[in-house]
């Protein structure tokens, strides 16, 4: 079973994403900020990370940098979500990162997950 770490400081959005992923057969881990997410990523090594960009404690871009600096987490695929897609500066500048502009639909979410996990995206 593939494990996905979902990070967002908006409880409702995080719950919606987690519910959709669980319905597709994924195991999920949750965090409400980048700092705790980094610890979870190092300890649990998820197959994919989906993170909000703008959060109070550590941005998604900061999390991405810290993940890439650690050889144990450097290869974990990442999808960044933002409601301010055009204003976050580096949006879509890195082809290794998936991007979702909020609001997004569940089909859009699942398609992004499938792209990052490849053809074996089902749990």
Domain with 39 in it: what CATH number? Answer: 3.40.50.2300
Burial grade of 36 (CB within 10 A; 0-12, 13-18, 19 or more): middle
The answer to whether the CB of 7 falls within 8 A of the CB of 63 is yes
| pLDDT at residue 84, rounded to an integer | 67
Mean pLDDT estimate for the chain: 88
What is the number of structural domains in the chain?
Answer: 1
Q: In which residue are the tokens 């976050």 written? A: 88
The string of pLDDT tens digits covering residues 31-52 is 999 889 999 999 999 999 999 9
Dist. CA 56–CA 82, nearest whole Å: 14
| pLDDT at residue 85, rounded to an integer | 56
| pLDDT at residue 93, rounded to an integer | 61
pTM: 0.89
Q: Reduced to 3 DSSP states, what percent helix, strand and coil does the chain have, rounded to the nearest 5?
A: 40, 20, 35
Burial grade of 104 (CB within 10 A; 0-12, 13-18, 19 or more): middle
The string of pLDDT tens digits covering residues 56-107 is 777 888 899 999 999 999 999 999 998 765 555 555 566 788 888 888 999 9
The answer to whether the CB of 87 falls within 8 A of the CB of 53 is no
**Residue ranges making up the domain that contains 53:** 3-120
């Amino acid at each position: 079973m593939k494990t996905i770490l979902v990070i967002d400081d908006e409880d409702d959005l995080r719950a919606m994403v987690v519910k959709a992923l669980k319905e597709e057969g994924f195991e999920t881990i949750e965090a409400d900020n980048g700092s705790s997410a980094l610890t979870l990523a190092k300890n649990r090594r998820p197959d994919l990370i989906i993170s909000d960009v703008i959060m109070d404690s550590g941005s998604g871009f900061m999390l991405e940098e810290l993940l890439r600096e650690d050889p144990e987490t450097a290869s974990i695929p990442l999808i960044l979500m933002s409601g301010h897609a055009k204003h976050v500066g580096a949006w879509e500048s890195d082809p290794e990162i998936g991007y979702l502009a909020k609001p997004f639909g569940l089909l859009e979410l699942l398609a992004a997950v499938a792209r990052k996990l490849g053809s074996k995206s089902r749990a």
